[in-house]
Amino acid sequence: MDQMTTTTTKTATGESKFEPQPAKTDSFIQITDLTKQFPIKGGLLSRTVANVNAVQGVSLDIKKGETLGLVGESGCGKSTLGRCIIRLIEPTSGKIVIDGDDVTHKKGEELRALRRKMQIIFQDPYASLNPRMTVGSIISEPLEIHNLFDSKKDRLDRTKQLIELVGLRPEHINRYPHEFSGGQRQRIGIARALAVDPSFIVCDEPVSALDVSIQAQVINLLMDLQQRLGLTYLFIAHDLKVVEHISNRVAVMYLGKVVEIAEAEELYRHPSHPYTRALMSAIPVPDPRKRDQRIILTGDVPSPINPPSGCHFHPRCPDMIEECKTTCPSLRETRPAHRTACIRA
């Protein structure tokens, strides 16, 4: 509990000026020093020969009713972080507190109960739906598992209501996932996540696999649902453009670490980390004169098995100085309510 109050005060910042859900100041989810390593097994005896450091000591606060955007290149650990938070995978170390309840070590029945509070929408709307289940059974399965309704009829009614909520038609209930388009499938995924009436949803690149024309529809649906149901989102994307519209705050991740976090407007106006600036310049701008300012990232993304010394970003950083090779920067307030992990910011 002590932990909670300290972390809350640290990041309690002003209200959002954005249209999506004005975020309340109280912290809903606190993640402290979360680390996830995937062991790489090798040899006859399957010993651990190395570790993939997918998430390396991330601390984050998510406020009730807000959308926290999480951005970073593919492979930087966004999905792993999101799945750890909802305990779909075991974090290696760290602490996850939801609504004052430490859920880090929940198991069995308690963990299953947690699934009612926290849900996830997956990136791939094709592979993430069981091909042999009808839309109706995909959506109603959580209702059965968690004994949410007594009678079959109530469950059916709720399923139909969910189908309509995400903009599909009730007669779709007996169809199979393959009969739908990508956007419709993602709506099925959303209805399935909503079935248990969760308060927090990890949206793991929910539109990355969709056509650009469909992306906006799905994002609008998610924003609309957030408003209606008072949901809190962790919205993952690999480019800043997608999260700009939906997020109250944005965190930028690089190689397992959060390198910058601020209110969305603040971050887009004053990107402080060289990596954020590089991501920002990758967004196509309508004004051709501004294109000259593009920062092109050089070099490959380093491996999370053997991350670079000091600041992980230094081998690719245009502003790198000698000290960056040895000093591991931590997040600090570089502007009001704006934290950056860069010694030069």
Partner 1 sequence: MAAYIVRRILYVIPILFGITVITFILFNMLMGDPATRFAGKHATKEQVEVVRAELGLDKPLPIQYINYVKQIATFDYGRSWSTKQKVSTMVADGFGPTLCVTVVPFVASIIFCVGLALIAAYYRGTIFDKGIVITCLGLMSISSVVYVVVLPNWLAFQAGLFPISGWDPSWTDRWQYLILPWIILFVLSLGPTILFYRSVIMDEAFQDYVRTARAKGVSSQGVFLRHILKNAMIPIITMVVIEIPFLITGSVLIENFFGIPGIGGLVFKALNESDFPVIKATTVMMSIAYMVFNLISDVLYSVVDPRIKLS
- For residue 273, the 8-state DSSP code is S
Q: Which of 38, 126, 149, 176 binds ligand ADP (CB under 6 A)?
A: 38
| Residue 130 near which of partner 1, Mg ion, ligand ADP, none (CB within 5-8 Å, type-dependent) | partner 1
User: Quick one: 115 or 158, whose CB is closer to partner 1?
Assistant: 115
For the bound state, the minimum distance from the C-beta of residue 31 to partner 1, rounded and expressed in Å, comes to 18
The reply to whether 215 sits near ligand ADP by the rule CB under 6 A is no
What CA–CA distance (Å, rounded) separates 43 from 48?
Answer: 9
Strand partners, 40: 50
For the bound state, the minimum distance from the C-beta of residue 62 to partner 1, rounded and expressed in Å, comes to 18
What CA–CA distance (Å, rounded) separates 107 from 45?
Answer: 29
User: Quick one: 107 or 289, whose CB is closer to partner 1?
Assistant: 107
- For residue 25, the 8-state DSSP code is S
The site for partner 1 (CB under 8 A) is made up of 46, 86, 88, 112-113, 115-116, 119-120, 122, 124, 127-132, 141-142, 145-146, 176, 178, 189, 192-193, 195-196
| Residue 332 near which of ligand ADP, partner 1, Mg ion, none (CB within 5-8 Å, type-dependent) | none
The reply to whether 78 sits near ligand ADP by the rule CB under 6 A is yes
- For residue 300, the 8-state DSSP code is P
What CA–CA distance (Å, rounded) separates 207 from 186?
Answer: 8
Find the part of the chain contacting Mg ion (CB under 5 A) among 43-51, 79-87, 137-145, 288-296.
Answer: 79-87
Q: Which amino acid is at 169?
A: R
User: Quick one: 79 or 159, whose CB is closer to Mg ion?
Assistant: 79
Q: Which of 23, 31, 34, 54 binds ligand ADP (CB under 6 A)?
A: 54
Q: Which of 79, 119, 232, 248 binds ligand ADP (CB under 6 A)?
A: 79
Strand partners, 202: 120, 234
How many residues in total does the chain contain? Answer: 345
The reply to whether 128 sits near Mg ion by the rule CB under 5 A is no
- For residue 324, the 8-state DSSP code is G
Classify 275 as helix, strand or coil. helix
SS3 content of the chain, % helix, strand, coil (to 5): 35, 25, 40
The reply to whether 80 sits near Mg ion by the rule CB under 5 A is no
Q: 165: exposed, middle or buried (C-beta count within 10 Å: 0-12, 13-18, 19+)?
A: middle
For the bound state, the minimum distance from the C-beta of residue 91 to ligand ADP, rounded and expressed in Å, comes to 12
The reply to whether 79 sits near Mg ion by the rule CB under 5 A is yes
Cα-atom radius of gyration of the chain, to the nearest Å?
21
DSSP 149-184: -SSHHHHHHHHHHHHHHTT--GGGGGS-GGGS-HHH
Q: Which of 23, 58, 71, 76 binds ligand ADP (CB under 6 A)?
A: 76
Q: Are 244 and 269 in contact (CB under 8 A)?
A: no
What CA–CA distance (Å, rounded) separates 236 from 243?
Answer: 8
Q: Which of 75, 94, 308, 315 binds ligand ADP (CB under 6 A)?
A: 75
The reply to whether 80 sits near ligand ADP by the rule CB under 6 A is yes
For the bound state, the minimum distance from the C-beta of residue 82 to ligand ADP, rounded and expressed in Å, comes to 8
Residues near Mg ion, by CB under 5 A: 79
Residues near ligand ADP, by CB under 6 A: 38, 52, 54, 72, 74-80, 304
